């Protein structure tokens, strides 16, 4: 199976209105920015996007929100996007806020074929409304179901032609879990190398989870919040 595609246009073929997408990243770190820009160009509507956050107003998933292409966000942290806040409060955007650890585990469970699990996170809050509760070791836990997607789109530092991926530093974040949970997973990489060039001991995501891989054209690598220490 040849997994390498020539460009982002070819990689995203088959994504249609109303689909569910998983998109890796945390803040603006490790997001598949070339793929997001292409989704904007494609004009696909009514998307359900599963992502830790919704980017910022003019970058990342914020670009899709600007064009009203997202119908529902399944996220953990959304505090850096004013347009997201406006759409959520006005009722234009359906939002499912999930504790960060639960979101990660729901994605991992989806990729591992585990339909549901119990967790104490969210018990006693709105997160637990309508969910089954059981007691384990004297502590209440709520039932959370796995998450999967029609397409998962992830970003990696290096990948090979077999789809094996290596993530760099904190850019790993949600990418490995989401790579497992898509019916079709697309990997956008900074560097694409021949099969066998990556050290097997340092591969984070095996190629079995990847159906399409391409080398991105440019990566902006913005810093969401820059904090510096004043010089004395």
pLDDT of residue 117: 98
pLDDT tens-place string over residues 170-216: 999 999 999 999 999 999 999 999 999 999 999 999 999 999 999 99
Residue 154: predicted pLDDT: 98
d(CA 56, CA 205): 27
Residues of the chain with pLDDT under 70: 222-225
Per-residue confidence (pLDDT) for residue 80, from 0 to 100: 79
Burial class (CB in 10 A: 0-12, 13-18, 19+), 177: buried
Q: Which helix (H) or strand (E) holds 190?
A: strand 182-193
- pLDDT at residue number 231: 78
Return the C-alpha torsion angle 202, 108, 102, 151, nearest 10.
Answer: 110
Q: Give the separation between CA 76 and CA 51, rounded to whole angstroms.
A: 8
Between CA 159 and CA 180 the distance in angstroms is: 15
Which pLDDT value is given to residue 27? Answer: 86
pTM of the full structure: 0.92
Q: Which domains does the chain have, with CATH numbers?
A: 8-114+147-215 (3.40.1080.10)
Q: How far apart are CA 192 and CA 147, in angstroms?
A: 29
pLDDT at 1: 79
The pLDDT, as a whole number, for residue 78 is 78
Looking at residue 229, its pLDDT comes to: 82
Predicted local confidence at residue 224, as pLDDT: 67
């Amino acid at each position: 199976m040849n997994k390498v595609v020539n460009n982002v246009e070819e990689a995203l073929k088959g994504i249609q209105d109303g689909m569910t997408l998983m998109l890796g990243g945390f803040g603006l770190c490790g997001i598949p920015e070339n793929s997001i820009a292409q989704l904007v160009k494609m004009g696909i509507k009514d998307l359900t996007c599963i992502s830790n956050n919704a980017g910022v107003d003019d970058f990342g998933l914020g670009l899709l929100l600007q064009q009203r292409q997202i119908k529902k966000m399944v996220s953990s942290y959304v505090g850096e996007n004013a347009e997201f806040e406006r759409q959520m409060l006005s009722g234009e955007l359906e939002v499912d806020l999930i504790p960060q650890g639960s979101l990660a585990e729901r994605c991992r469970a989806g990729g591992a074929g585990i339909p549901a699990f119990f967790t104490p996170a969210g018990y006693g809050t709105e997160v637990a409304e309508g969910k089954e509760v059981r007691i384990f070791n004297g502590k209440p836990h709520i039932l959370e179901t796995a998450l999967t997607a029609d397409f998962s789109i992830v970003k990696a530092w290096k990948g090979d032609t077999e789809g094996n991926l290596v993530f760099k530093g904190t850019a790993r974040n949600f990418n490995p879990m989401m790579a497992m949970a898509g019916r079709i997973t697309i990997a956008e990489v900074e560097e694409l190398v021949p099969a066998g060039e990556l050290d097997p001991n340092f591969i984070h995501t095996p190629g079995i989870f990847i159906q399409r891989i391409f080398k991105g054209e440019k990566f902006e690598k913005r810093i969401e919040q820059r904090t510096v220490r004043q010089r004395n």
